[in-house]
Amino acid sequence: MEESIAYGRPNAFNICHLDQTLAWAAQNLHAWYNQPVPQLSQDDRSIAAAVQWILKGDAGQRALIAWGMGWESAQKISGQKWLYPYLICTLTDSYAAVRFDAWKSLQTLPGFSDFSFSYTAPDYALGEAAMRAYEKWLREVRNANAVYRPETAINSDGHFRQDVFQRLRSERDEKPIFLAE
């Protein structure tokens, strides 16, 4: 947990429970293993760790979370309905590897198994594809009566809570990194 707080390293709890906060993970670690509960920021108490990592994390964090959003076990535990906007938004990420993971994960969600996308396309084409995906989700897939947990920072209309989205995106770690496999 300390590495997640100090360095932003995703932890096993929040990779599986994508819709949960770091505070939730810390409380469970305390209850189950008597680990001390660390001091946490307001965001760490109120916004899902995965949401923070995919919006403001470095490319490695974003790739891991984009991949995790396609993991069947995590989808069963965290739900799928709120994942669409994050994966669609991530189709325009500055790193091709992150875009690829987002696309492959998006294809695991209902209504998008055959969604075509070129993760190496020019920026304008990436933006058009993301717009096409978002419109498809809003019109064909999204349940208008869906309820989203506040920790996911998605409003009842299926849109990002703009105050949270804009702030986290403005804090994004854009340092260049090389991802080795």
Tell me whether residue 116 is in a domain: yes
- Is 181 within the bounds of a domain? no
Give the CA angle between residues 20, 25, 30 to the nearest 5°.
155
Residue 76 belongs to some domain of the structure: yes
- Enclosing domain of residue 133: 2-170
In a domain, 53, yes or no: yes
Please tell me the total count of domains within the chain. 1
132 belongs to a structural domain? yes
What confidence tier does 108 reach under pLDDT thresholds 50, 70, 90?
Answer: very high
CA atoms within 13 A of residue 124's CA, in its CB half-sphere? 0
In the numeric block, the tokens 């590495």 are attached to 3
Tell me, yes or no, whether 176 lies in a domain: no
User: Above 80 in pLDDT, residue 175?
Assistant: yes
Spatial distance between the Cα atoms of 138 and 131, rounded to a whole number of angstroms: 10
| Domain-located, residue 178 | no
Domain assignment of residue 175, yes or no:
no
pLDDT digits (tens, 9 = 90+) for 44-95: 999 999 999 999 999 999 999 999 999 999 999 999 999 999 999 999 999 9
CB 51, CB 152: distance < 8 Å? yes
